[in-house]
Amino acid sequence: MEIVVTGRHTQIKQKFRDVVESKMNRVTAIAPDAQRAQIVLTHEGNPRQADTAKRVEITVIAGRTVVRAEASSTDEFSALDMALDKLTLRLRRTRDRRKDHRRGYTNPVPVDMGVIEPEAEEETVEEEPNNSPAAAVASDLGPGESVEVQVGDTPIVIRRKLHIAEPMTIDEALYEMELIGHDFFLFVNKETGRPSVVYHRHGWSYGVFEIDTPENVAK
């Protein structure tokens, strides 16, 4: 498995690289088909955030499956341990789900219809030289490409990114949401063809939010 370690606002020390490589066998033990692991260490310079000064993000690619986890702590080593704990739990869920599907079992998923105001997903973006809101939504983007535009001298930032994804069921969308560790997941509903969002409410309760136009609903 290829292991890539990078830093944001910090230099990666050799000791941290060595610890990462020694502990990533936890990943290969659960997911032997893992092809690549990307570890990003971020340093928060604000002294008021000393308790979460170090953040470790781990992304593992195994075939068509992408599993992600992150954690923050006072030092990079404890943050790494916490992120790995989350990651290995999600990898085990992925492995167990595959076993259940091979046996012909499907787990019922509780879905609670409700209203959601989803937060914008944090993405790595590229700067757009045209400093206007229209540029963020009017420019042509390729798959995986992104654009970020700051509106004048204001703190307002508009982000746009194009994702290419196959339509999926609600159950599959909930599964993908759990893998990446987010509270919501945007997808195209295979059954309705509508852009939709699944989201975590509380406990084992989930919600589904669908979007359509009045013209389509009236048909």
158-181 pLDDT, tens per residue?
777 777 778 988 888 887 887 777
Pick from 193, 181, 170, 168: nearest CA to 109: 170
Highest mean pLDDT among 69-73, 77-81, 129-133: 77-81
For residue 6, pLDDT beyond 60? yes
Confidence label for 114 from pLDDT (cuts 50, 70 and 90): very low
Contact by Cβ (8 Å): 8, 40: yes
**In this structure, is residue 59 part of a structural domain?**
yes
pLDDT for res 212 = 85
pLDDT for res 3 = 93
**In this structure, is residue 12 part of a structural domain?**
yes
pLDDT for res 211 = 87
Higher pLDDT: 161 or 70? It is 70
pLDDT for res 202 = 75
For residue 108, pLDDT beyond 80? no
Domain span including residue 19:
2-103
Edge-first strand order for the sheet with 184-188 is: 184-188, 195-202, 205-210
Confidence label for 95 from pLDDT (cuts 50, 70 and 90): confident
Q: What is the mean pLDDT of residues 180-191?
A: 84
**In this structure, is residue 66 part of a structural domain?**
yes
Whether the model clears a pTM of 0.85, i.e. scores above it, the answer is: no
Enumerate the β-bridge partners of residue 72. 55
pLDDT for res 120 = 44
**In this structure, is residue 51 part of a structural domain?**
yes
pLDDT for res 103 = 54
For residue 77, pLDDT beyond 80? yes
CATH number of the domain within which 59 lies:
3.30.160.100
Into how many domains does the chain fold? 1
**In this structure, is residue 44 part of a structural domain?**
yes
For residue 28, pLDDT beyond 70? yes
Q: In Å, what is the CA distance from 1 to each residue of 58, 70, 82?
A: 14, 20, 21
